[in-house]
Chains A and B, each alone.
Chain A
Amino acid sequence: MDSQTQPAAVRARGIVKSFGTGDTQVTVLRGIDLDIYLGEMLLLVGESGGGKTTLLSAIAGILDIDEGDINVLGVPLSGLPTGKRTTFRGQTMGFIYQQFNLLPALTAAENVAVPLLIQKIGRSDALERAQRMLDRVGLSDRAEFLPKNLSVGQQQRVAIARALVNEPRLLICDEPTAALDGPNGQKIMEILREVGRSPSRCVIVVTHDSRIFHFGDRMAHLTDGRIVSIEPIARKGTA
């Protein structure tokens, strides 16, 4: 499928973001233009401090930008008031973090159900859907486990289930394999590709783990706050 024939799910234009003021001001994003399409997995790569996470935060609407426009699924994020932006995020986005950020007091199933509870879905319905999502990431037998009783790989699978349970159209992943060893990282990316990818969803992955580059469809290189290249990724076995 050629995803780029569709309208962009995320359309960023002229994004500028600085931190600090005066002499200590640091400009992290220096006029970013980027389109991300439904059905694709875009990898954001680049050196540390290059602005990958800042751009990800801006696209997610959890960080205000200084200049430019970000349009997600047809909604201009910059123009939305904070409350509406929070609601929009809850309804359309899923998040996978480097540190998983699972709630330690909740079981795996309860953690997965959190986005549904935020959307005010009843607890029993939410837990039922969470259980089904845990089945899809191969953790049906760990539903009642607390995060501390799961391996790091299993914890990240719970985090993937949590990110996908409310069927988000934009999946945002920040270094999803950084806390994992090689085999676990590969497995997580396989799950992410199998379960997370969908024609009605786009997936953005920030990473500098070159071992997982082949899972993406396109790769955007950020250096010093600018996108220096965006190129398709060649699949193994394809020219």
Chain B
Amino acid sequence: MHDMLADTADAVIVDLGGCVRMSAVKPGDRGEIVEVRADHEAGHGVDVHELERRLLEFGFVEGARFEVLHEGAIWKDPIAIRLDDMRVALRRRDAEDVWVRLDTQ
């Protein structure tokens, strides 16, 4: 499946064992971003590589630390997270492409 990443050549290819998608996190979770990998079409208005670039531009980048701060009232969406030293809001569907490793508490 990694050959889909052809034009994101230097994306860190890592073992995602023990990782979860950021779309599955809940408030209070902390951890580190392991990989940003746009690999499935989920009906975004933009193609997967564009979504990946937008995530990267907002600082969703391998190695970044995060903490989930809040979630919305309806379907617990969107989520507000602290990403390194800034606060960012995003929808869970857009967070699907961000793989994270949660700290064990």
| A-B interaction | no
